[in-house]
Every structure is written in C-alpha cells, then in structure tokens.
Amino acid sequence: VKGGSAFPVRLRFTKHGKVRFTSHRDVARAFERAFRIEALPLEFSEGFSPHPKVSFGLALSTGYESDDEYLDVSLVEALDLEALPERLTAALPHGIAVIGAVELCDRAPALQEAVTAVAWSLTVGRDDDVALDADEFSAAVEQALACDEITVRRSRKGRQVDDDVRGAIRRCVVTGTAPDGTVALDLDVSTRPRSAKPLDVLAAIAQVTPAIGPIEERRVLRLRQWIERDGARLSPLDADARPRVAEARAS
C-alpha cells in the first residue's frame, strides 16, 4: 500500500477445506465481491477501468491450505475493525475466514516485499502408493540438508530454469507417520532472495536420494508467514500496524 490512503487495512485470513481448490486469483475475486457485498468504502484506482486498491501477499498454490494469509486494502474512511472479520467471513466462500484486521501505518511496505519467511506443514507420500518409510525418508532429508547446494530444474514464469533450492531451506523435520503410508513434515523456508515451494523441496530431497522413490505432496498447509526486521520475527499483522493511539483517533 502506497502512502496517501485514508484508511489502509491489513487482513489476516485462513483457507481450509474444499475451497483450497480455488486459485490465488479466485480468492482475490472472492474478496473483491465480499468487499462490495459488505459495501466497504473502497478506494479506487483512477482511469478508464477503475479497480479497488487491493494488494495480495504471497500467492498460495491451488490445492494448498493455509492458517495464515494476508491482504491489504485501501479504504477512504475509517470503519470498525473489530466487526470487520465477522462481516467479511459471512460474505466469503465457506472455508475462507478473516481472523484479524489492523489499520496500517503510512507507507507500510507491500506484503510481497516484506514477508521473508514461511512455515509449512506437509503430508507426503509415494506417487505409486507404496508406503513411505519414515526412517528412510528422515535419512533422505538429512542427506539433503547436508548439501551446500541442490540445483533443481523447475518452471518459473513459463520457463525451465535451474535454481538452487537448498539455500532457501531453513528447517526440515519429519514429525510423524500415518497408517496410510504417508509421512508428516515441518518445513521452514526463506522467501528471499529466492523462495522454494514445498514441491521444489521434495524434488530436491528425491534428487539427492533417488532411492526414496517418486514423492508427491498430499496435503500442504501454510502455518505462518513472518516479517523479519532488525533481528526480530514479526507477524505481518503486527509489523506495520498503526499504533493504537492513532487508530483511536482515526475511528
């Protein structure tokens, strides 16, 4: 959100269940409709085709769930932020819930630039339905973490590129197994200078230890997003919120 908005707001929301099969773009459109259903005082861009000023955080891949998503929206006047989450949740598709809203300070950096770390919880299995052995998989994870660099071929903006994935992995731990032959995994990654998707990390593990077999993600949940600033790890809801005194004055 650039400076100048009368009432910039950051929303925190979750995405669970069937609605996980909608795309990032679908979610954006659902929010824009929810804003209109609730008749929020939206600020619009100038020009022939005015759009509400909404900016979304890191994209969440189609099929992934999340406990921790964000978006910023510019309003032209103050409104009751306590009541906002419930109002918007009612206007959104089932499975998307707004769980927090703060007024942003002036010139808060955009979410896509500000967020530096993401925590994931994954369930993974073999794509041929052979049971995945947790110990073997743990060993493969250790092998991968022991590498300085793991170059994986992936497609970025429609092009095939070779990227180092290891550099983005901060932590990767097997946390359990399930009777259906899947393994649960916690994963923390950096988003800068280059992020790694859960799928890239699995490809890196399989590349280092091919014997582990073809691995696929079954269930992916984004647990948290962090803004790291001056050595502190902040929630995106707290990092750039306008101090409460100012908020009281605005409302």
With CB under 8 A as the contact rule, the residue among 42, 84, 147, 234 that binds other proteins is: 42
Residue placing its CB nearer to other proteins in the complex, 27 or 114: 27
DSSP for 52-74, please give it. B-EEE-S---TT-EEEEEEEEEE
Report which residue type is found at 3: G
CB of 217 to other proteins, least distance (A): 8
Q: Is 21 in the site for other proteins (CB under 8 A)?
A: yes
The DSSP code for 211 is G
Residue placing its CB nearer to other proteins in the complex, 125 or 236: 125
Residue placing its CB nearer to other proteins in the complex, 30 or 234: 30
Residue placing its CB nearer to other proteins in the complex, 29 or 249: 29
Gap between the Cα atoms of 67 and 13, Å rounded:
7
Gap between the Cα atoms of 27 and 98, Å rounded:
12
Residue 34 has a CB neighbour count (10 Å cut-off) of: 19
Q: Which residues 175-234 are close enough to bind other proteins by CB under 8 A?
A: 218
With CB under 8 A as the contact rule, the residue among 16, 24, 28, 32 that binds other proteins is: 32
With CB under 8 A as the contact rule, the residue among 2, 6, 29, 86 that binds other proteins is: 29
CB of 32 to other proteins, least distance (A): 7
Contact 236, 104 (CB under 8 A): no
Q: Cα separations (Å) of 127 from 39, 63, 122, 216? A: 46, 16, 15, 6
Q: Is 121 in the site for other proteins (CB under 8 A)?
A: no
Q: Cα separations (Å) of 189 from 40, 89, 119, 149, 222? A: 35, 29, 6, 15, 11
Contact 102, 234 (CB under 8 A): no
Contact 222, 60 (CB under 8 A): yes
Q: Is 155 in the site for other proteins (CB under 8 A)?
A: no
Q: Which residues 68-97 are close enough to bind other proteins by CB under 8 A?
A: 91, 93-95
With CB under 8 A as the contact rule, the residue among 2, 4, 6, 23 that binds other proteins is: 23
Residues forming the site for other proteins (CB under 8 A):
18-19, 21-23, 25-26, 29-30, 32-37, 39, 42, 44, 48-50, 52, 62-63, 91, 93-95, 218
